[in-house]
Structure 1
Amino acid sequence: MYKLTGVTKNYTRGKETVEALRGVDLTIEDGDQLVIQGPTGGGKSTLLQMIGGLDRPSAGSVELDGVDLASISEARLTRVRAEKIGIIFQSFNLIPTLTAQENVETALVPLGVKPAERRAKAAEALDSVGLGDRLSHAPSELSGGQQQRVAIARALVKNPKVLLADEPTGNLDEGTRDDIMALLEGLWREHGLTFVMVTHDSSIARRAPRLATIRKGRITLTEQQPQPAL
């Protein structure tokens, strides 16, 4: 379970201080699906970075299973991210010189998984997202939707507790967007993940049971009846 208390994040731009988050309080239960929306610059990606341990707040605490990600050492934080948190980005963030299988294997290297086991787990993860026949393809040989599937496999290969997605369909056409969302929602249910996603797409936001709207660093939570894809 996540518990965010009084999370504030300030950035300095020249002589100006920008408040990206202002005293955010938020609880995310195990297995929750939460979508974060808001205007550009409103703080939604900053909030996701706090939840993912990619950045630390200026004030407040970000607890995951009782461990405050804001105060632990960098080495321990890196370990928590490696073991518990899978992250998907809009731009895929694949290494262009590696194959699909090798890209997925990179998530297992920090965990000390041996090469043969890494290869087997990566192949299994790619098969689970429909790319079992694309193991040796480079990112440049894959479509945008296929590259995002590789990124999803990389996030899930280590069996994380938490799956975070920052605009995962932002670079995809409408049909591919729906395919990727159906895949993510299916994996969320199958694996019992805690799933938190940032999106600007209201049609996607309506599909989640909980919606967090951020404006000027402040959060409003809404419980909603999930709407199926059209």
Structure 2
Amino acid sequence: MYELRGVTKRYTRGKATVDALAGVDLTIPDGDRLVIQGPTGGGKSTLLQMLGGLDRPTAGSIGLDGTDLAKLSEAKLTQVRSEKIGFVFQSFNLIPTLTAQENVETALVPLRLKAGERRERAAEALRSVGLGERLGHLPSELSGGQQQRVAIARALVKQPKVLLADEPTGNLDESTRDEIMDVLEGLWKEHGLTFVMVTHDSSLAEKAPRLVTIRKGRITVKENAGA
């Protein structure tokens, strides 16, 4: 479970001070599926980065299973990310010289698994997203949707508790977008993940059980009864 209390993130731009997050309070139960929406520059990605331990707040606490991420050392924070949190981004972030399987294996290196176990788990993760026949393909040999599936497999291969996705369908056409969302939602249900996604796509936001709207660093939370 996430418990955010009074989370503020302040940036200085020239002589001006901007609050990307302004005293955010938010609870995200285990297994929740939450979508974050809002205008560009409103704080969406900043909030996701806080949840993932990729950035630290200026003030406030970010509790994950009772541990305040804001107070952890960099080494401990890296360990939490390696073990508990998977990330999927809009731009795939695959290494172009590595095969699909090798890209997925990179997520397992910090866990110090033996090479054989890394290969086996990476292959199984790719099979779970429908790419069992593409293990040896380079990113340049895959479509955009297939590359995002590799990125999803890489996020999930370490068996995280949390999946954070920042505009995961932003570079995809409508048909491929729907395919990727089917994959993500299926994996959320299958693994009981806590799934938090930033998206500008209102059609996706309407399908989420809970919607957080963020404007000028402040949030409102809506329960989507029909989702």
Same fold? TM cut 0.5: yes
Which residue does 1:140 correspond to in 2? Answer: 140
Shift of residue 12, structure 1, vs aligned partner: 1.5
Which residue does 1:54 correspond to in 2? Answer: 54
Shift of residue 139, structure 1, vs aligned partner: 0.6
**Distance between the aligned counterparts of 1:37 and 1:154, measured in 2?**
25
Secondary structure of 2:107's match?
A: coil
Deviating above 6 A after TM superposition, structure 1's stretches of 4 or more consecutive aligned residues are: none
Residue identity in the other structure for 1:135: L
Shift of residue 225, structure 1, vs aligned partner: 2.3
**Distance between the aligned counterparts of 1:12 and 1:149, measured in 2?**
37
If the length of structure 2 is used for normalisation, what is the TM-score?
Answer: 0.99
Which residue does 2:5 correspond to in 1? Answer: 5
Secondary structure of 1:150's match?
A: helix
Which residue does 1:193 correspond to in 2? Answer: 193
| Gap change, CA 1:226 and 1:142, over 3 Å in 2 | farther
**Distance between the aligned counterparts of 2:97 and 2:14, measured in 1?**
37
Shift of residue 13, structure 1, vs aligned partner: 1.5
Aligned length: 227
| Gap change, CA 1:26 and 1:98, over 3 Å in 2 | same
Which residue does 1:36 correspond to in 2? Answer: 36
**Distance between the aligned counterparts of 2:81 and 2:226, measured in 1?**
29
Question: 1:194-213 to 2 correspondence within 5 Å?
Answer: 194-213=194-213
Render the CA deviation track for 1:29-49: whole Å, top value 9, x for unaligned: 000000000000000000000
Which residue does 2:114 correspond to in 1? Answer: 114
Structure 2 unmatched ranges of 5 or more: none
Which residue does 2:15 correspond to in 1? Answer: 15
Which residue does 2:102 correspond to in 1? Answer: 102
Residue identity in the other structure for 2:174: E
Secondary structure of 2:71's match?
A: coil
Shift of residue 11, structure 1, vs aligned partner: 1.1
Secondary structure of 2:187's match?
A: helix
Render the CA deviation track for 1:160-217: whole Å, top value 9, x for unaligned: 0000000000000000000000110000000000000000000000110000000000
Which residue does 1:222 correspond to in 2? Answer: 222
**Distance between the aligned counterparts of 1:69 and 1:142, measured in 2?**
36
**Distance between the aligned counterparts of 1:115 and 1:100, measured in 2?**
16
Aligned Cα root-mean-square deviation (Å): 0.6
Shift of residue 80, structure 1, vs aligned partner: 0.3
Render the CA deviation track for 1:130-175: whole Å, top value 9, x for unaligned: 0001111111111000000000000000100000000000000000
Which residue does 1:161 correspond to in 2? Answer: 161
Sequence identity, in percent? 80
**Distance between the aligned counterparts of 2:113 and 2:16, measured in 1?**
46
1:151 paired with 2:162, answer no
